Chain A
């Protein structure tokens, strides 16, 4: 049972434009949501997180939005850069014991 879903396996964006990656979840008990970035042959790297008591968190070019009523979150990257090309995983937890990951979205930023 997939509790965190990323329905877009891939996304292509022109350099300088906005990238929007989406994630849906089913468990209303999740209290933290995280985004990870993964390059080939490397482990996932933490990017940004958001608590369930907030609806937005911003860090430089990266902003995460949370819509609890829709059980949906999104990651906005603006402006997108070629170095942002990677696989992005959405993750969620309600205890910190287990983090549930989506299947990932492969982002390609075209120069």
Chain B
């Protein structure tokens, strides 16, 4: 079956620009997560959705970052006024339910480069 799909796979943007990253989760998965991975680091939590609502956005680094999931399926991570420090791989994951015994299924990520 189809896994988690993320688009684009690569995005290069200039400092100060706005970007949107899209995630299409596995059908039927109610929980959706965004993580960010920098070189040599593990995935770092950004935000988690249960259905349409952001249940935990404590990992968003600042108010330039925002994410939505309006219909409880596809999610978009939005970054305003991008900075070079935002360069990383942004990973989306989904799971059947937000429980520890329901593992995350990751997409291949979007590599964001801010020049």
Interface residues of A (CB under 8 A from B): 4, 6, 31-32, 34, 36, 41-46, 49, 51, 89, 91, 93-104
Name which of B41, B97, B104, B106 has the most chain A CB atoms within 10 A of its CB. B104
Q: How many A-B residue pairs have CB under 8 A?
A: 67
Once bound together, how far apart are the Cα atoms of A106 and B109, in whole Å?
A: 19
Inter-chain CA distance A11–B37, complex, in Å, is 21
Instruction: Report the minimal beta-carbon distance from B104 to chain A, rounded to whole angstroms.
Output: 6
B62 within 8 A of A: no
> What's the dominant secondary structure at chain B's contact region?
loop
B91 contacts the other chain (CB 8 A)? yes
Partner of A97, one of B56, B103, B106: B56
| Closest partner residue, chain B, to A89 (CB atom) | B42
**Known pairs A45-B106, A96-B98, A99-B43. 13 more at Cβ < 8 A?**
A32-B101, A34-B103, A36-B106, A43-B109, A46-B104, A51-B100, A51-B101, A95-B98, A96-B95, A97-B48, A97-B98, A99-B104, A101-B35
Chain B positions near chain A (C-beta within 8 angstroms): 4, 31, 33, 35, 40-45, 48, 55-56, 58-59, 91, 93, 95, 97-109
7 A-B pairs closest in CB distance: A32-B100, A43-B106, A101-B42, A96-B99, A46-B103, A96-B98, A93-B100
CA distance A95 to B102 in the complex (A): 11
Q: How far is the CA of A100 from the CA of B33 in the complex (A)?
A: 12
How far, in whole Å, are A98 and B4 apart by their CA atoms in the complex? 18
Can you pick out 22 interface pairs between chain A and chain B where the beta carbons lie within 8 Å of each other?
Answer: A32-B101, A42-B108, A43-B93, A43-B106, A43-B107, A44-B43, A44-B104, A45-B106, A51-B100, A95-B98, A96-B98, A96-B101, A96-B102, A97-B55, A97-B56, A98-B45, A98-B48, A102-B42, A103-B40, A103-B41, A103-B42, A104-B41
